[in-house]
Amino acid sequence: MAPPTTLNLFEQQQSNRRKSRWLVALFLLFFLWLGLGGDLAVYLYTQDLVDPAGQALYRHRFPWAGTVLGLFALVLTFDVLRNGGKRVVKQVGANPLVYAKTDQERQLLNVVEEMSVASGLPMPSVYIVPDADPNAFVSGTKPGEAHLAVTSGLLELLNRDELQAVVAHEMGHVKNEDTKLMTLIAGLGGSILLIRDLMIRTTFHSGRLGGGRSGGSGRNGKGGNPLALVVLVVWLLSWILAPIIVRLMAMAVSRSREYFADAMAAQFTRNPAALAEALAKIEGHHAPTTSISQGIAHLCIVDPTGRLSNRKEGRLADLFATHPPMAIRVSRLRAMAFQSVSSA
């Protein structure tokens, strides 16, 4: 896969804005289906339901589930747009770095300030994640409200130039407006999974409570509406497959953007070799993450879950990997460094 260097910064930002709008629209539609699908199944099931005396029983007329989930999705979207960045750093247990107490912390703040100037962006809030796995990410939905987090393992592993290159990569995401899109996926996708788990537990609990009940209702001489069963199966599958659907959304937006952020980092630092060495060190470091979950892996400079699909190219990898193969990223950065030396 070729990096998206054929797009200039303005085109990349416009593309990200469009995709952010589409993502929100798809999320709202998916949420509506998760509610309305259940309403439709119950409506089809109850439309000809009668008791033994032939009297009509409950008819499900109003889409209560769809209405509730639709309103919840709207509120959730506004909340993620407003507070999504803060929630991500809180989720990983990151500690805000306001006043430096160690040489490493002073160096980090100095590097972030330098890269803010180089990128022409406001300085983000800085956080340290107490995790030995070397990694970094940036979250937030506005350039002026970005939250940059690095792990303690990253500070231990990299020298100043390499740390500067990693920070520049994350500032590149902010500049390209990738951060808003990826934060939306982390916040909205995580909410879908949370509601799915709550629904499964509620359904299981209700089934245990009502498992021994028997009723005398009938269907007015009919064997039931087969369409109700079809809708119910599709609806249940949507809930079951929600984690895969959320991951596919993350894959669709994060993989190619890493190439562009690498190129932006080389532009900000004038030192592509430093990022190449940083990525090579991070890739070769073996410390399983203790803080970063799969739901926000697409935000990181490298995938903390270590998926094998991240080491491959092709359509299958594009669907299931959060990041491009590290070997390709490193080789391209080293090629940039060679070209810079050759043209000097």
Residues annotated catalytic, as ranges? 170
Portion of the chain with pLDDT greater than 90, in percent: 31
Which of these, 330, 294, 292, 296, lies nearest to 311 by C-alpha position?
Answer: 330
Mention every residue, 6+ apart, whose C-beta is less than 8 A from residue 271. Answer: 161, 164, 165, 337
pLDDT at 150: 97
What tokens does 73 get? 């999705």
pLDDT at 66: 81
Beta bridge partners, 300, equal: 137
Dihedral class, residue 93 (left if φ above 0, else alpha if ψ from -120 to 50, else beta): left
pLDDT at 18: 76
- pTM metric for this prediction: 0.76
pLDDT at 36: 86
pLDDT at 248: 72
pLDDT at 13: 65
The mean pLDDT of 155-162, rounded to a whole number, is 96
pLDDT at 71: 84
Q: What is the pLDDT of residues 257-308, one digit of tens each?
A: 888 899 899 999 999 999 999 999 998 887 778 888 877 888 899 988 764 4
- Mean pLDDT across the chain, nearest whole number? 80
pLDDT at 118: 95
